Amino acid sequence: FSDPGGPLHLQIINFNFETVQVTWNASGYSGTNLTFLYKLRSNEMYGQCPNYILQQGRTAGCLLEAEDDGILYFSIRNGTQPLLTKSQWISSYLKPDSPKDLNFQWHEEAVTVTCSDLPHNDLLYEIQFKSTFDTEWQSEEGTTCNVTIVGVDADKCYFFRARVKTMESTYGSDTYPSDWSEVAHQQRGERRDSCQERKLFPRFILVSG
Amino acid sequence: TYNFADCDFEKIREKYQKVIFPALEGYMSGIKSTESNHTVYCGDRPGCLAEIKHLTFSSTQECPLLAKEILTKTNAILTHHCPGYSGIQINNTQAMKKRKKREVTANKCLTQVSNLIELWRHFSRFRRNKS
C-alpha cells in the first residue's frame, strides 16, 4: 500500500481467526505516532486500536480480537490526516494454527498420519517425512489431516512434521502457511525420542603400510 | 425476490471451486483481490447467494456487464441447484452490444469481480452445519 506521504508498508496476519495483527513500517514517518482506527461492520463508527504494538516507543501495529470471518475496515492516520484507508476480508490473511498431536498407524510398507482437523473449510494438510538415510524432506498433502504415505520402511527411523495451508479459491493468495508442527520420530511402528542422524562414514578404511 | 435457503449449498460450493473460480480468476488476470477494497458483505449462505446473484447480474455505469462466461455459468449453477429458481434471461444481442462497450471498461469491472470473488470465498468458508 503506498501513499503520497511516503510508503506505508503494511502486513496483516489473521491468526487462526482468533486475533488479527496489523503492522506497518512507516519509514516516511519516523518519530511519529500513527493512529489505527478500525471497525468490523460498515454501519459502525471507527474505534481506536485497543492494543497498539510499539517499536522504539512508537506505534508500529495493532493487535485486534477477531470476532468472526468478516471485513476489517481500518484507517491509519498521522494526526487527523488519513494515510491509508482500506477494507479487507480478514480471511484473506489467514495463518492457521499448526497441527498438534500427530498420530501414526503403520501398515504394510505404509503409514497413515492423522491429527485433528481445524474448524475451517478448504484447508490443505501437508505432511513432510524423511528417514535418516534421506537428506531432503518429502511431502504428501490431503484435504483432511488423514494422509497415507506409501513406500516407507518401518525398520528405518523417520522424522515427521505437518503444517496447514489454505486453498486459494476459498482464501486468496495472501494467506500464510501455518508453522510446522513439532517433529515426531517413529521407528518400527513406535514413537522414538529422536532418530540418530547417520554420519556418512566411509565403509572401508584403507590402511596402507 | 427468491429465497436461496433451499439451495444445495455443498453442490454449489463444489461448482464454484471447479467452474466459477477459474472464470473469475481468469478475469482478474493476475490482479489480486486484496488490491482493492472489499465492500460487499454477506452474513450466511442464502444471503451470500443473493448478493452473488445481485452483483453478478447488476449493471452499473462503470461496469455495464460482466463477461458472458461468468454470467452463463453462474446462472446455470444457481438454476440447477436452487429449487424453483428460474434464473436470469441473458439476452444475446444485449450482451453483444454491451460487450463492445465493455472492451473499454473491462478493467472498470475489476472491483466488481474482486468483490464477487470475495463473496464466493465467504460462501465457501461457511461450515456445513452453520448455514
Give pLDDT, residue A199.
56
Which of A68, A87, A89 to substitute to test the interface with B, most B CBs within 10 Å? A89
**Apex B21 CA angle, B117 and B91, nearest 5:** 85
Chain B residues in contact with A71 (beta carbon < 8 A): 38-39, 41
Instruction: Determine, for residues B125 and A92 on separate chains, whether the beta-carbon distance falls below 8 Å.
Output: no
ipTM of the complex: 0.86
The nearest CA of chain A is from the CA of B104 a distance in Å of 27
- pLDDT-derived band at A26 (thresholds 50, 70, 90) equals confident
CA distance B4 to B2: 6
CB contact under 8 A, B37 and A170: no
Chain A residues close to B31, C-beta within 8 Å: none
Interface test with B, best of A94, A168, A169 (most B CBs within 10 A): A169
Judging contacts by C-beta atoms under 8 Å, the chain A residues touching residue B117 are 172
The Cα B22–Cα B25 span in angstroms is 5
Residues 6+ apart with CB under 8 A from A148: A110, A111, A112, A113, A140
pLDDT exceeds cutoff 90 at B19:
yes
Radius of gyration of chain A (CA): 24
Report the predicted TM-score, pTM, of the whole model to 2 decimal places.
0.88
Cβ separation B126–A121 shorter than 8 A: yes
Calculate mean pLDDT across residues B30-51.
Answer: 92
| Residues 6 or more apart whose Cβ sits within 8 Å of residue A188 | A154, A155
Rounded Cα distance, B81 and B8, in Å: 5
List the end-to-end C-alpha distance of chain B, in Å, as a whole number. 19
Task: State the cell numbers at B21.
Answer: 473460480
Percentage above 90 pLDDT, chain A: 81
A41-45, B8-12, B53-57, B127-131: least confidently modelled range: B127-131
CA dihedral A63, B48, B28, B80 (to 10 degrees): 150
Q: Which residues pair with A65 in a beta bridge?
A: A19
d(C-alpha A23, C-alpha A7), whole Å? 13
Element (H, E) at B81: helix B68-81
Q: pLDDT tens across A115-143, in order? A: 999 999 999 999 999 999 999 999 999 99
What was the pLDDT predicted at A2? Answer: 47
Q: Would you state the pLDDT for residue B30? A: 86
Q: Using CA of residue A35, residue A39, residue A42, residue A45, what is the dihedral sign?
A: negative
Beta pairing class for A9-15 and A94-95: parallel
Write the CB contacts of A98 (distance below 8 Å, at least 6 apart in sequence). Answer: A162, A163, A164, A178, A179, A180, A181
Instruction: Tell me the DSSP string of A73-133.
Output: EEEEEETTEEEEEEEEEGGGGEEPPPP-S-EEEEETTEEEEE-PPPSSSSEEEEEEEEETT
Instruction: Look at residue B95 and tell me whether its pLDDT is greater than 70.
Output: no
